[in-house]
Amino acid sequence: MRLAFREAMMGFQRAPLLSALSIITIGFSLFAFGLFGLVALNIRNAVQQVEERVEIRAFLTDGTPVEAAAAAVGDVSGFPEVLKAEFVSKEQALVLAKRELKEFREEFDASVLPASIDVRLKDGYRDPRTVAAVAARLRAYPFVDEVRYGDDWVEKVYRLRNIATVAGIALGLAFAAVSVIIIGATIRMTVLSRAREIAIMRMVGATDSFVRSPFLIEGFTKGILGGLMALFLTWAAHQIISSQLIETQFFDPKLSMLGVAAGALIGALGSALSVGRHLRDV
Amino acid sequence: MSEAKAPGIIRFSGVTKEYPRTGTALAGVSLEIAKGEFVFLTGPSGSGKSTLLKMIYLEERPSHGDVKVSGVLASSARGGDVATLRRKLGIVFQDFRLLEDRTAEQNVSFALEVIGTPRTAIGPKVARALAQVGLASKAASLPRELSGGEQQRVAIARALVNDPFVLIADEPTGNLDERATRGIFQLLREINGAGTAVVMATHDLELIRRSGLRTIELNRGQMVFDSAAEARPAEDNA
């Protein structure tokens, strides 16, 4: 293992230009992937924020006893899909309306606004069918006059989320595939530049796994360095976009580390494939 | 094979090698090489000499027939068997195949390092191999600082360092002048004298004639002459 590590490090020393080129190529490939990831993350967050606003409001008939409404709130809170259910009295509704629609502040009157039970759903239960099903169950209460949840709007948000998910996965896979191909080709150049060394190793009786090991270490190291470079470039792009165009969110530390680890994995995998192919061909 | 001699360490039994694009490289070759023997392999370019040598170190496998080297059968050998066998063989090529960025000493020690030889054993073995080929004083030289003959000596030292039972030399003097050729041949004779079998492919008929050693001649993949055999095959008109 020590020799494999030494050989890997010597690979950097003997061909510094090629090694730098490999790292830069890996870095830019992962940077393209990182930029896409940044866009996907921010789209997902935006859609999630919109989704979080999905709310079902069950308006109660005038004169509904507070005890009955409270019992219904307790009941609804127990629904598996429900994150939170709360009773909003006529007075609270007035305060909310005045806060949300300031320009009509003077027009509102407590007698006009009905009391309601406001229901928020858990993540994963905000699709149109579930929203409609919960709304139907709320309608079953005899004191519920009307249930509103913006069915058109929920439908559109849900469709947007689906499109974003499918497009994200498809584009993500395409970017990842392109990265693997470019990185594989770069590592293949390294392998070819050391074809004589590989041939000698095999000639004197080194096992194929031994021959592979320095290249795996080299590919892994290049992947980490390329990943760190991509992370820095993506962070710089995020800073520029946030300051010049629109406030965006960056990857959290766990996701950042995952990106670097993906670089290392792609580097090692690219090396394994390139060396494996070379060993089969010669 | 009636004469009583050392048991065969290399045995070819009806070996044919066919390539999809270039056709037949070897056709029905049968031969046996004994422990400690010196064998010349000759024939025109493309006659199958290199293919035959590659079969000894299992770089190529027969299309038909079988090759047995030190108890390892080509037809059933797996990757690990090949690696283990090659640790017991020494291989030398016409173009030396040295690592240009490493010294003579590092080129020789590389052969031991990659097979996991303990570090403490490497130094003495490398020093002994370089001394054996007469290059102890040039251990720190890079290949480009050495003559062709010296580079080939480094390659031979690398082949010898692990005490092989056979040295396979594929036209080792092909790139050398007359004087260097004689030097390398003399070295191979000394190695053989110490008990290592040598199989050497060469076009140098003068060298073969002067040596009086066993000679196998190939032509278009067929073995047309073996000086160890009692009679030449009838079809041989070379």
Which residues in chain A touch residue B87, judged by CB atoms under 8 angstroms apart? 204-205
* Structural domain of A199: 2-49+158-281
Contact in structure between A109 and A132 (CB atoms under 8 Å)? no
Whether A252 and A208 share a structural domain: yes
State whether A97 and A172 are in the same domain: no
B230 — pLDDT class (breaks 50, 70, 90): low
At CA B49, angle to CA B47 and CA B55, rounded to 5? 125
Query: Please, what is the Cα angle at A132 between A128 and A136, to 5 degrees?
Result: 175
Determine the pLDDT at residue A105: 66
B-chain residue closest to A15, CA distance: B101
Q: How confident is the model at residue B232 (pLDDT cuts 50, 70, 90)?
A: very low
Question: Is A177 exposed, middle or buried (CB count within 10 Å of its CB: 0-12, 13-18, 19+)?
Answer: exposed
Number of domains making up chain A: 2
Q: Distance between CA atoms of B134 and B146, rounded to whole angstroms?
A: 13
Q: How high does pLDDT run on average in chain B?
A: 90
Provide CB contacts within 8 A for A130, sequence distance 6+: A81, A121
- Give the range with max mean pLDDT: A64-78, A167-181, A190-204, B33-47: B33-47
Domain end position, chosen among A148, A175, A202: A148
Among the ranges given (A66-80, B189-203, B212-226), the one the predictor scored with the smallest mean pLDDT? A66-80
Q: Which residue of A has its CA nearest to B112?
A: A204
pLDDT above 90: residue A185: no
- Choose the final residue of a domain: A130, A148, A166: A148
Q: What is the mean pLDDT of residues A63-70?
A: 87
Residue of B114, B122, B156 to mutate for A, most A C-beta atoms under 10 A: B114
As a whole number of angstroms, the distance between CA A227 and CA A268 comes to 12
The domain that contains B238 carries what CATH number? 3.40.50.300
Taking CB atoms and an 8 Å cutoff, what residues of chain B touch A196?
97, 99
Instruction: Indicate whether A141 and A208 sit together in one domain.
Output: no
**Same-domain status, A60 and A116:** yes
Q: Let me know: does B75 contact B16? Beta carbons within 8 Å.
A: no
For position A277, what pLDDT does the model report? Answer: 84
- Rounded to an integer, what distance in angstroms lies between the CA atom of residue A276 and that of residue A272? 6
What is the CB neighbour count within 10 angstroms for residue A273?
A: 17
Q: Are B42 and B208 in contact (CB under 8 A)?
A: yes
Is residue A251 assigned to a domain? yes
Residue B152 has pLDDT above 50, yes or no: yes
Mean pLDDT in residue range A248-272: 87
Residues A197, A282: contact at Cβ < 8 Å?
no
Rounded mean pLDDT, A125-148: 88
Tell me the Ramachandran region of residue A155: left when phi exceeds 0, alpha when psi lies from -120 to 50, beta otherwise.
Answer: alpha
